[in-house]
Amino acid sequence: MKTILVTGATGQQGGAVARALLAGGHKVRAMTRKPDGEAARALAGKGAEVVRGDLDDVASLEKALAGAWGVFAVQNTWEAGVEGEEQQGKRLAELARRAGVEHYVYTSVASAHRRTGIPHFENKWRIEQTVRALSFPSYAILRPVFFMENFLSPLMKPGLDQGKLAIALSADTPVQMIAVEDIGAYGRLAFEQASAFNGRELDIAGDEVTMPEAARALGAALKKKVEFLRVPIEDVRKGSEDYAIMLEWFDRVGYDADIERVQRKYGARFLRLGEWLKQTIKRS
């Protein structure tokens, strides 16, 4: 049994990957800043070794990395900031290489390699460059698109409660999106098929819809009328220049993950938005 360290194990991506690996019978070391929290206890109940770790604390990272064969690395821009996330990503990769990690899986963002000009895409590209330069025996980079979970997040849920899907995008802009559960599935594959994934830099998405189409899907799942409301981009920019730049890029360029090709090549089917909504609403 090879130990796989999963960072951010009580977050969205890390949690999904940890659960998928545990379901596959893998030895998971789940790193979290809150090992006594409910999410950490749930992972421990599934068989994970839960360890305390902080991406800004070198000593805790060295301890978490000791003896690990693989690492699933994820950082959060919205918590650490663009510069902080970049420092965390590079630090973890460098420490993992020093610790003798053999297979390193970094989760970036789709289109990070396309010079988007989006700050929290560009910093992930620089982390990717560090991962490549470290010459791990084996590595893979997953690049997920916009999360379906964003629709039910605190940012959008208040609007949905009022029957509005409020976002600063054009009505005819198609946006690729993915369920976090599917990131977990592909994270698991990246370890189970390490040799096939070695050197791969894979953009992953499960669906592509416009915001009016998303509003109809949300309405059907929530059993209420939901209308798309285009928010002025200036309103978004007041809160986050980074987020505003991303939405403008969605309107102007957008992701380009090849959904069907990836499914055919790797065999793991992605959830469509409607399917994900049915599953999620049913669970709640």
Judged on CB neighbours under 10 Å (0-12, 13-18, 19+), 80 is middle
Residue 284: pLDDT band by 50, 70, 90 thresholds?
low
CA 216 → CA 225, 227, 271, distances in Å?
8, 7, 17
Round the average pLDDT of the chain to a whole number and report it: 97
Cα–Cα distance, 11 to 59 (Å, whole number): 21
Cα–Cα distance, 54 to 64 (Å, whole number): 10
Cα–Cα distance, 100 to 78 (Å, whole number): 30
Residue 281: pLDDT band by 50, 70, 90 thresholds?
confident
CA 105 → CA 120, 187, 233, 246, 251, distances in Å?
19, 8, 35, 25, 30
Cα–Cα distance, 187 to 199 (Å, whole number): 14
> DSSP class of residue 4?
E
What percent of the chain shows pLDDT beyond 70?
100
Residue 1: pLDDT band by 50, 70, 90 thresholds?
confident
Q: Which residues of 251-269 are buried (b: 16+ CB within 10 A; e: fewer)?
A: eeebbebebeebeeebeee
Task: Say what the pTM is.
Answer: 0.96
Judged on CB neighbours under 10 Å (0-12, 13-18, 19+), 102 is middle
CATH number of 3-145+179-204+256-270: 3.40.50.720
What φ, ψ does residue 242 adopt, rounded to 5°? -60, -50
> DSSP class of residue 33?
S
Q: Which two tokens stand for residue 62?
A: 């060295």
pLDDT digits (tens, 9 = 90+) for 216-239: 999 999 999 999 999 999 999 999
Output the CA torsion 250→239→144→195 (10° steps).
Answer: 130
Determine the average pLDDT of the residues in 136-165: 96
